[in-house]
Amino acid sequence: MPHFIIDCSEGILKQKSPEYIMQVVYDTAKLTKLFAPEEIKVRINPFQHYNTGNKDEDFIHIFANIMEGRNTNQKANLSRQIIKELKTIFPDVLVISMNIRDFEKATYCNKAMV
């Protein structure tokens, strides 16, 4: 926990490597000090086929799945910081966005818990 899943157009990966993009998201999340560094997980899903308002434009959207317990200001800051970094790296990409979803502690389970 947390999981940062980056959905993007394939064109994004022609501009920067997936490893670089994932590292930027990881480093930025780590700098917020909301998470233990060893628990931050980042993945990327490039899409060849997509429709962004009937336009052929590159996009990046990040789905952050985090354990409940952070307040709205902390989550808003996390989103702002990650988007700010990506905006710097991809100044010509018009759609860069992120949303955060909370996991419920009561219903979360992983291998170590069983």
Mean pLDDT confidence for 16-45 = 98
- Is the pTM value of this prediction over 0.75? yes
3-state secondary structure of 49: coil
Name the residue among 27, 19, 65 with its Cα closest to residue 46. 19
Q: Is the pLDDT of residue 56 over 90?
A: no
Paired with 101 in beta bridges are 65
What CA–CA distance (Å, rounded) separates 64 from 35?
12
Residue 33's pLDDT is what? 97
- Using CA atoms, how far apart are residues 67 and 109, in angstroms rounded to an integer? 11
pLDDT confidence bin for 27, thresholds 50/70/90: very high
Choose between 53 and 30: higher pLDDT.
30
pLDDT for 30 equals: 98
Residue corresponding to tokens 């022609």: 14
Quote the pLDDT of residue 114.
93
Rounded Cα distance, 20 and 16, in Å: 7
